[in-house]
Amino acid sequence: MEPSRHGPPPSDRQGLTWLSQVRLPESGTCGLPERKDRGGEGAGHLDPHDRLWRVAIDGQGRIAALHPIAPGSSAAGIDWQGDWLSPAGVDLQINGGLGLAFPELTTTDLPRLEELLELLWRDGVEAICPTLVTCAVEPLREALVVLRQARAGHRPGRCRLLGAHLEGPFLATARRGAHPLAHLCEPSLAALQERIGGFFGPDEGAADGTARHGRQPMDAARAGTVLSHQADEAIAGDGTPPPSRSAVAATPDLPPTPGPAWPAGAAAADIALVTLAPELEGATAVIQALGRQGVVVSLGHSEATETEASTAYDAGVRMVTHAYNAVPDMHRRAPGPVAAAALRGDVALGLIADGVHVAPTMAVLLQRLAPQQVVLVSDALAPYGLADGLHRWDERTLVVENGSCRLEDGTLAGVTLPLLEGAIRLARWSGRPERAIAAATVLPRRVLGERRPLTELLVGRPLAECLRWNQGAGGLSWRRAACV
C-alpha cells in the first residue's frame, strides 16, 4: 500500500499520534510534476491546494504514514486546521554569515562556522550548498578543504553542509556584478583541474572522503572516460537505488523504513553545483566534464542569448543562477536564458525573493509561468546574522541596509535575509503559500537529485525536524512542527 492510497487508513494502533487536516506544499519536479494524489499537479484527482492529509507520528516522534482525507470528510486527530507540513529549507546559494565569507575560510574559522550552521538550523534551514564566489585558486582550494572537515563533523541541531556551489570563475566579464575581475578566467579543462582537481563531485564523494565505486577524485583530464551521470537517479547511502514506492512504509502496521535524508552524492560531495557563463569559448567541455561527475551546472553571470542558452541546456545545464540578475532580461524580441528555461520546463530557476533583486511583480510572474521550476535562494553574504552597517568583504566594503548588501559604488551584491523570509515574501506577493513553501524546502532537493514523492520523503523523518506553516492575518509564518 502506498502512502497516498485513497480510502480510509488502517485502524489506529497504540503508540501512534495522528495529526489531521494537514496540507502539503506543491512538490513536483522540473518537467515532471507529481500526480495530484501525491500533492503535485500531474494527472490525478484533486487540486493540491485543497487536499488535506492525516499524518501518523510514532512513539519516537517520527512520521510513520500519510493518508489523504477524502474531500468533504473529516478525520480524527490533532487538528492542524489546514496548516502545511514540509521538510526544512535547503539553500543552494549562500555565501557566508556571522562575518564569515566562505571563500576566505581557514581551519581557525571552524568554531565560527559551526555557530553559523547552528544559526541556520534555528532559521529553519536543514542544508546548504556553501557558495564560493570568484576568488584566487589557493583560497578556493583551502576553503574546500575546510568545508570538507566541517562536513565530516556534522551533528544534530546544525544545518548540514552539502557540496559547495562554485559561483565562478568562468563568468562573462560584462555580467560579473560584484565578482572581482582579477580572478575571472576563460573556461578550460586545465583551469577547472587547477581549481578542483583532487576534490569529489556527487558521483564520486563518500562520507569518509574516499572515492565511491573505486573512482579517483575529480580530474578534468580524464573527464571524457567517466561514466555519464544519471541525472534522475537518487542513490541511497549504501550505493543502492532509492527504495521503490511500495517499499516505503505506508501503514501504521509496519515500522517506517525511510530512504536516506539525502542522496549520498549531494551530502558527501566536495562540489555539488557550479555557476558559469555557457556562451564562453571552452565552456561546453567544462559543462560536460562537470556533468559526468554529477555536478549540477547552472547558467549565471552570463550574456547568453536564447539560442546559446538552449544549446547549454541541451548540453546539460540544469539551472539558472539568481534569475533576472546578471543575465539578459526577457524581452519581446530577445527572450534570453530565463525565457528559454521556462519554456523547456526542465531547468530550475533560482530566485532571490527579497523584493530588491527582483521586483515582486516579476517574481510572481516567473512563478506563475514556471511553478515547478522556481527555487528560492537567499544569496546571503557574510553579514548574515549581524546588524546593518559597514562590513568587510575580501578587500572591499559592504554597505548593509534593510537586509540588502551593496558595494560602496552601489553594485548590488547580496542580502542578509534568511532563506525562509523569501518564502514568506513570495507567498505574500503571490497569494500561493503552497508554492512558496515548496520553492524553499522541496524543489531545491529536486535540483540535487531527490526524486522521491514528498510523502515518501517525509516518512521516517522526525516531526521536530520538519516545519509547520500557517497562513494567518499577518501573512505566512513557520515554526518547528510538533504534535500540538
Residues marked active site are found at 379
| β pairing state of 374-376 and 63-68 | unpaired
- What is the Cα–Cα distance from 446 to 140, expressed in whole angstroms? 27
Long-range interactions of 180-187: CB distance < 8 A, separation 24+: 180/134, 180/135, 180/394, 183/134, 183/135, 183/136, 184/134, 186/280, 186/281, 186/282, 187/276, 187/277, 187/280, 187/281, 187/282, 187/283, 187/285, 187/286
Using left for φ > 0, alpha for ψ between -120 and 50, and beta otherwise, residue 200 falls in beta
Helix (H/G/I), strand (E/B), else coil: 138 = helix
| β pairing state of 412-415 and 404-407 | antiparallel
- What is the Cα–Cα distance from 320 to 309, expressed in whole angstroms? 10
Q: Which of 7, 230, 124 is nearest to 466 (CA)?
A: 124
Long-range interactions of 366-371: CB distance < 8 A, separation 24+: 366/323, 366/324, 366/338, 366/342, 367/426, 367/430, 367/432, 367/435, 367/436, 367/439, 368/430, 369/342, 370/341, 370/342, 370/345, 371/26, 371/41, 371/432, 371/435
Q: Give the cell for residue 347.
A: 531547468
Residue 475: its H or E element:
strand 475-480
The CA angle 151-162-426, to the nearest 5 degrees, is 135
Q: How many other C-beta atoms lie within 10 A of the C-beta of residue 367?
A: 23
CB 133 within 8 A of CB 95: yes
Q: Which of 423, 396, 429 is nearest to 411 (CA)?
A: 396
In DSSP terms, which residues pair with 348 in a beta bridge?
A: 319
CA distances from 346 to 27, 32, 33, 71 (A): 14, 8, 10, 32
CA distances from 189 to 71, 143, 220 (A): 56, 21, 5
Residue 338: its H or E element:
helix 336-344
Helix (H/G/I), strand (E/B), else coil: 91 = strand
